[in-house]
Amino acid sequence: MANMGIEILGTGHHAPARVADNEDFAKIVDTSDEWITSRTGMKRRHISSGEPTWYIASQAAHNALENGGVDPLDLDLIICTTVTPDFQTPSTASMVQRELGAKNAICFDMNAACSGFIFALDTARRYLASGDEVKTALVVSADILSKMVDYTDRSSCVLFGDAAGACVMRAAPGRLYASSLSSDGEGAGLLCARYPFPSNPLQDPALMPQWEDLDSPQDPYLHMAGREVYKFAVKALPHEVMRACQKAGITVEELKWIVPHQANIRIVETAAKNLGVSMDKMVMNLSEYGNTSSASIPVALDEAHRDARICRGDKVAMVGFGGGLTSGAVVLEW
């Protein structure tokens, strides 16, 4: 398994049609284009006008299959990552399977928040490397964050957008691959959205114990301790990339491209400095999408693949960080 890499056959993405720019946010909260641009690098983001998560996930998956020339019936595995599914059950992966007609695939969802794509890619690679029945795998990451954003909270609402990204892959013996994944539940309360579970008519308030819980508001909106997550992110990003490179037996300089989670341009600039690499190596698109959670890496990856920035033989790192707290990087040869 150690020297079992993956070949990414095709990539794809899809974003809702509606685009909201910084001026749109200045109309609903006390903010400005100047603040958002200088603090985050963001200009625009796509916002769902009703498109469900399963729909944008299916469109991204369809585009990846078409890009790779892969028949949906050849898929053995579909992993979907999302923190904003449309249903508790079925999984979003099952809905994608239904849309694609990929009836031979096993399907499940994973949630590692903004690191989801990295965790899912690594899981898919482990299935592929096991040499069992999974020969072709699809990873699709989709989030409609507008479902859980509080549009009265200026400190968070300007950051997030909606999108889906996907890639289809198979095993590639001997091709470079390594990963570095981390989780830290101690930081669980720093980025949190409660499940909006209704109370039931049979519960007795007197019997309800004082459960130890996260120190976060009781509403179902997404809450983030921005500064703390920022401090975590600027350390996690270089740490995971360096560790994955070390495991792959290459130097950071040998990487042609780094595709980071698109949370904030300042995080990526600081991380690039800490890694000793130029920003030219960083694949960035957050000015056009904002932070789309686990979709952000595969959307940026798809754009860089389609415009031929990423070419066969390039050594590429992808790195995510976010809720959980989670962080992780994959280093591979394209």
Nearest distance from C-beta of residue 283 to ligand UT7, angstroms: 16
Instruction: Find out whether 70 and 168 touch, Cβ atoms under 8 Å.
Output: yes
Name the residue nearer to ligand UT7 (CB basis): 172 or 268. Answer: 268
Name the residue nearer to ligand UT7 (CB basis): 5 or 322. Answer: 322
Residue 182: is it exposed, middle or buried by C-beta count within 10 angstroms (0-12/13-18/19+)? Answer: middle
Nearest distance from C-beta of residue 100 to ligand UT7, angstroms: 28
187 binds ligand UT7 (CB under 6 A): no
Instruction: Find out whether 122 and 92 touch, Cβ atoms under 8 Å.
Output: no
Name the residue nearer to ligand UT7 (CB basis): 227 or 312. Answer: 227
CA distance 134 to 320: 25
267 binds ligand UT7 (CB under 6 A): yes
Name the residue nearer to ligand UT7 (CB basis): 175 or 194. Answer: 194
230 binds ligand UT7 (CB under 6 A): yes
# residues near ligand UT7 by CB under 6 A? 20
Query: According to CB under 6 A, which residues from 27 to 56 bind ligand UT7?
Result: 31, 35-36, 39-40
167: annotated active-site residue: no
Query: According to CB under 6 A, which residues from 118 to 177 bind ligand UT7?
Result: 154-155, 158
Q: Contact with ligand UT7 (CB under 6 A): which of 91, 291, 294, 326?
A: 291
Name the residue nearer to ligand UT7 (CB basis): 72 or 320. Answer: 320
CA distances from 303 to 205, 209, 298, 308 (A): 52, 50, 9, 9
Torsion of CA 188, 189, 193, 199, to 10 degrees: 100
Spatial neighbors of 226 by CB under 8 A, at least 6 apart, are 155, 156
Instruction: Find out whether 88 and 117 touch, Cβ atoms under 8 Å.
Output: no
Q: Contact with ligand UT7 (CB under 6 A): which of 20, 190, 233, 283?
A: 233
189 binds ligand UT7 (CB under 6 A): no
Among residues 80, 107, 114, 245, which one is catalytic?
Answer: 114
291: annotated active-site residue: yes
Instruction: Find out whether 60 and 18 touch, Cβ atoms under 8 Å.
Output: no
Nearest distance from C-beta of residue 106 to ligand UT7, angstroms: 29
Alpha-carbon 121 to chain mean position: 11
CA distance 114 to 189: 15
Q: Contact with ligand UT7 (CB under 6 A): which of 222, 263, 272, 282?
A: 263
220 binds ligand UT7 (CB under 6 A): no
CA distance 89 to 195: 14
Name the residue nearer to ligand UT7 (CB basis): 153 or 314. Answer: 153
Q: Please list the alpha-helical segments (H only) found in the chain.
A: 22-26, 33-40, 53-68, 92-100, 116-129, 154-157, 226-248, 265-275, 286-289, 296-306
Instruction: Find out whether 114 and 296 touch, Cβ atoms under 8 Å.
Output: yes
Spatial neighbors of 114 by CB under 8 A, at least 6 apart, are 261, 263, 291, 293, 294, 296, 320, 321, 322, 323, 326
311: annotated active-site residue: no
Q: Contact with ligand UT7 (CB under 6 A): which of 69, 88, 227, 308?
A: 227
Phi, psi dihedral angles at 311 (to 5 degrees): -125, 160
Name the residue nearer to ligand UT7 (CB basis): 123 or 291. Answer: 291
Q: Contact with ligand UT7 (CB under 6 A): which of 90, 187, 220, 226?
A: 226
Task: Give the residue numbers annotated as catalytic, written as ranges.
Answer: 114, 261, 291
Contacting positions for ligand UT7 (CB under 6 A)? 31, 35-36, 39-40, 114, 154-155, 158, 191, 226-227, 229-230, 233, 263-264, 267, 291, 322
